[in-house]
Structure 1
Amino acid sequence: MAVTQQEIESRLWDAADELRVAMSEAQYSSVVFPLMFWKYLSDTWEHHHQEFLDENDLDGLSAEEAHEIEYRDYQSFKIPFIDRGTIQERRASWSSILATITLPGLGQRVRASLQAIETANPDKFSRLFGAMTWTSEAVLSEEVLGAVMQAMDRTPKMHEGNMSHDVLGGAYEYLLKRFSDGSGTRAGQFFTPREVVELIVEILEPKSFESVYDPTCGSGGMLIASANLLKARGGRGYTLKLHGQEAVPDTAGVARMNLFMHNLTQFKVEVGDTLKDPRFKKDGSVAQFDVILANPPYSLKWKPWTSDPRAIGGVAPQSSADWAFVQHMIASMDPKKGRAGVVLPHGVLFRGGQEAAIRKRALDDDLLEAVIGLPANLFYNTSIPTAILVFRARGTKAPARQDGALFIDASNRFTKAKNRNILTDADIADVVTAYHSDFDSDGTPVDADGEGALSARFVPTTEIVANGYDLNIGRYIKQAAAEQEDLGTLIDVYNIARAERQKTELRMLKVLSAAGIEGFDE
């Protein structure tokens, strides 16, 4: 009997809910995902082990020969033994450890099992399970850990003979979303809402055998969505070469598990600070990819580069790494067909100083293809409105899109949900339609379909230059002007104006002081 999506999701949530007495919902993922993946590996290994036993006569084989045949023809990873040579020796599998659930030291056995699996499969599972601090009795009591494992054991067997990877991957996604919906900021830091991910992927359109890169990959959702879209369109999603970098080791582990659960094995997820230590290199420079997509942390304080070839147009200020992430993505675009999509707050469109210099360079080099304004309150960790910026490698824009940028206002296209606004499938389709539209000599879409069409306009670079390289959507689409006066944007504008006023006052006071005029309050 086939396992339904609803059944496995319900069982997994029951297991997660056992943690409510021990920790906040924001911490559930650190426990549930390693346990879930361990059960998946164990169920899969035992399923193939049984196939091996059923299909082979072991009477004439030595232990070494049997082992060689099993791992050559049936198994794709190892589940080793722990405590070898002792009375406690047992396989590091879910079922083996579950059988000891009433014995003291459960957390230690779980930790030893996960570490043994990592060690036995260094190419696949190195550092996969993260820090595993939850296996300590001081963090999670053995009683609660045992309850979680018993509840999770009531889920159906997680192997390909019992459920598809679509069901398994869907269950993993369900938990990611459930944790994010319930816990807000902390989980939202590594989970981008699926509809935003789908929109970016639809616009960038990964093709079979292309390389896809997310420099701030979080839980890996953008990489998985790229493969899913390709598959949905009749392509071969498994042919994509997926690459991700994530600063938080435990979150990188979540991404790796997520990819495996979706049956995507051509991937590399590295740990490290992308701006400080980019892990994907080639010939001394950052590696280049066909598709780059990201939802980096907004307005991140960082240590600016002193000398880095990625810093086209200048170096982003210490107060905000937004444009530094863009510069990294631009440097990572393949020169022949590279394209990039990034979600950022509206401040990147108009802030002055060093950011304005970088923005100028991106426009002068004709790298920016589109600016898409999104609604406010789409994300779990911020209510501010955001925008998608789309870039193309220099000289690769379609002729009709050269020497200008497309502006699309989707700020009022959303449906209110419990904790945030969402984009519907129809909203996503309308944005994609506007993105692919043709435009007349005034920059107006020639095929806009009446009242429901999104406001969009193709703006020549000369007009943007005349506006001081300001990309504020309201400058180019008048309907967007009022909608953009949200609190977050107004605060950004106020802070910039205040800083400029303070610098001007300081210069004035110095001039007056030099002239011998005193008496002004500083």
Structure 2
Amino acid sequence: MPNTQINQDDINKAVWGACDTFRGTISPDIYKDFILTMLFLKYISDVYKDEYKQLVKQYGDQPELINAMMAKQRFVLPKEASFWDLYDKRHEAGNGQRIDMALHAIEEANGSKLKNVFQDISFNTSNLGAEKQKNEILRHLLEDFAKDILNLRPSRVGTLDIIGNAYEYLIKHFAAGSGRTAGEFYTPPEVSDLLATLLDPQEGDEICDPACGSGSLLMKCGRRVRENFNGSKKYALFGQESIGSTWSLAKMNMFLHGEDNHRIEWGDTIRNPLLKDASGNGLLHFDIVTANPPFSLDKWGHDGAA
């Protein structure tokens, strides 16, 4: 594979082009979850593969040491669960089932970090047509993400921002095609930038978005801290999101932007607030609270907020 540094426009075009696999088969509001999840899987697989090669180069005659060090990676990939394992078997029947099993195994192997993140996404769905058609669609998807341009290993990508930006690029384009429902998971960057500037978060702040969607507003606040305090990551991001699939997007979005110091809960903030203190009885307090909630909702839980 080429060692030339990837640029943002190239990766954006490549991941958006992968959507052609689904166009004409299912609507964008459904296939967005397939594309975004596959980007996440491809990235963590390329990182894992890159790290393994580096360790083999250093400790090639110590397989037990290599395995022990791989078990401490940021994300652990069980056997047969990486993107490349799935790609190697793409011509066999059962692509949908294999991908689902791989995602489940990754959840299990990474404990609380990825718990339930993939539970609302199934590649083995009848939405993709009969078994033969579904298998072909998923084969094309795997081949799209296996292209050289989407070689996402760290030594080629450089900064994690490029991957995170590509994820945001996809979310933005999916939102543009979703019309009224876009507000459920997306805040335009102009709005996020303005709010982050006005709030001016400081080093050490704990920042909360109780209607966080895909997490873009929280991450803009985090970026503001880094820009103003010499790259400091001494801050914490908290959020809650009521829609399961959108909560999953937020979790993956955080990780792809390197925002590991986060706590994003899944549930209705008004009816079932989950950002509670250590006692479990009181709500957490934050230095900054910001949100762009779905203002168009009629039944938003005001009757239970008293």
Which residues of 2 match residues 339-418 of structure 1 at below 5 A?
none
The question of whether the paired residues in 1 share the 8 Å contact of 2:28 and 2:178 is answered with yes
The question of whether the paired residues in 2 share the 8 Å contact of 1:239 and 1:266 is answered with no
Which residues of 2 match residues 72-471 of structure 1 at below 5 A?
72=72, 75-81=73-79, 91-139=80-128, 141-154=134-147, 155-163=149-157, 164-282=159-277, 283=279, 284-300=281-297, 301-305=299-303, 315=306
The question of whether the paired residues in 1 share the 8 Å contact of 2:213 and 2:241 is answered with yes
Report the Cα distance in structure 1 between the residues aligned to 2:65 and 2:5, rounded to whole angstroms: 35
Q: Which shifted more, 38-47 or 134-143?
A: 134-143
The question of whether the paired residues in 2 share the 8 Å contact of 1:208 and 1:236 is answered with no
Deviations 1:317-336 (A, max 9, x none): xxxxxxxxxxxxxxxxxxxx
Higher strand share: 1
The residue that corresponds to 1:67 in the other structure is 67
Selected match of 2:24 from 6, 14, 21: 21
How far is 1:303 from its partner?
Answer: 4.2
The question of whether the paired residues in 1 share the 8 Å contact of 2:97 and 2:123 is answered with no
The question of whether the paired residues in 1 share the 8 Å contact of 2:99 and 2:123 is answered with no
Residue segments in structure 2 that go unaligned for 5+ positions in a row: none
How far is 1:138 from its partner?
Answer: 4.5
What do you get for the CA RMSD once the two structures are aligned?
A: 1.8
- Give the direction of change, closer, same or farther, for the CA distance of 1:258–1:303 in structure 2 (3 Å limit): closer
- Give the direction of change, closer, same or farther, for the CA distance of 1:281–1:19 in structure 2 (3 Å limit): same
* 2:118 partner SS: coil
Residue segments in structure 1 that go unaligned for 5+ positions in a row: 82-90, 316-522
Report the Cα distance in structure 2 between the residues aligned to 1:304 and 1:6, rounded to whole angstroms: 44
Report the Cα distance in structure 1 between the residues aligned to 2:187 and 2:70, rounded to whole angstroms: 40
The question of whether the paired residues in 1 share the 8 Å contact of 2:206 and 2:235 is answered with yes
- Give the direction of change, closer, same or farther, for the CA distance of 1:24–1:57 in structure 2 (3 Å limit): closer
Report the Cα distance in structure 2 between the residues aligned to 1:24 and 1:30, rounded to whole angstroms: 11
The residue that corresponds to 1:486 in the other structure is none
Q: Pick the structure with greater CA Rg.
A: 1
The residue that corresponds to 1:7 in the other structure is 10
Report the Cα distance in structure 2 between the residues aligned to 1:69 and 1:167, rounded to whole angstroms: 26
How far is 1:204 from its partner?
Answer: 0.6
Report the Cα distance in structure 2 between the residues aligned to 1:156 and 1:31, rounded to whole angstroms: 16
For normalisation by structure 1, the TM-score amounts to 0.54
How far is 1:21 from its partner?
Answer: 2.1
Alignment length (residue pairs): 294
Report the Cα distance in structure 2 between the residues aligned to 1:112 and 1:118, rounded to whole angstroms: 10
For normalisation by structure 2, the TM-score amounts to 0.90
How far is 1:238 from its partner?
Answer: 2.5
Higher helix share: 2
How far is 1:237 from its partner?
Answer: 4.9
Amino acid at match of 2:82: S
Deviations 1:114-145 (A, max 9, x none): 00000000121111124123432454512112
Q: Which shifted more, 236-245 or 289-298?
A: 236-245
Larger relative contact order (Cα-Cα within 8 Å, sequence gap ≥ 6): 2
How far is 1:111 from its partner?
Answer: 0.3
Aligned identity (percent) is 30
Selected match of 2:46 from 32, 43, 47: 43
Deviations 1:177-214 (A, max 9, x none): 11111221233321011101111111111111211111
The question of whether the paired residues in 2 share the 8 Å contact of 1:49 and 1:70 is answered with yes
Report the Cα distance in structure 1 between the residues aligned to 2:287 and 2:230, rounded to whole angstroms: 16
- Give the direction of change, closer, same or farther, for the CA distance of 1:9–1:302 in structure 2 (3 Å limit): closer
